[in-house]
Amino acid sequence: MGTSVEGIIAPRPAAATPSAVEPNLAAAAPALPLRAGHIVERIVDGDLVLYDQNRQQVHVLNAPAAFVWQLCEGGHDAGEMAAALAEHFPRSREPIESDVREILSDFSARGLLTT
């Protein structure tokens, strides 16, 4: 088959970094994460869908992951993102920084960030 979708980051509101398939979660995200240029974004019925044109993979982000994705502009580190996320999702303040690092690590492992 010509297309594979290894990772479907399914929308699950309660989880920060869900993923159906774990590629390489040890992958380190850049200090100032920046979205890779070959990723196409599309909002479908309120969910953010990412299409990796190089790997031919489609990812569906949950709300926290989509929030972090929007901050991957090359100017914010994980701590700043966690602070912004905590403001946006106040009830999940405590584990939020580790969640953000996990999300960024997942993005990086899936080739979604510029290295």
10 lies in the binding site for another protein (CB under 8 A)? yes
Beta strand segments in 1-115, E: 39-44, 47-52, 57-61
Beta-ladder partners of 35: 113
Shortest Å, Cβ 58 to another protein: 4
Element housing 44 (H / E): strand 39-44
Q: In angstroms, rounded to a whole number, what is the distance separating the alpha carbons of residues 42 and 45?
A: 10
Window of 5-13, 72-80, 88-96, 106-114 that interacts with another protein by CB under 8 A: 5-13
Q: Which is nearer to another protein, 4 or 115 (CB)?
A: 4
**Contacting positions for another protein (CB under 8 A):** 1-5, 8, 10-11, 40, 42, 44-45, 47-49, 51, 53, 56, 58-60
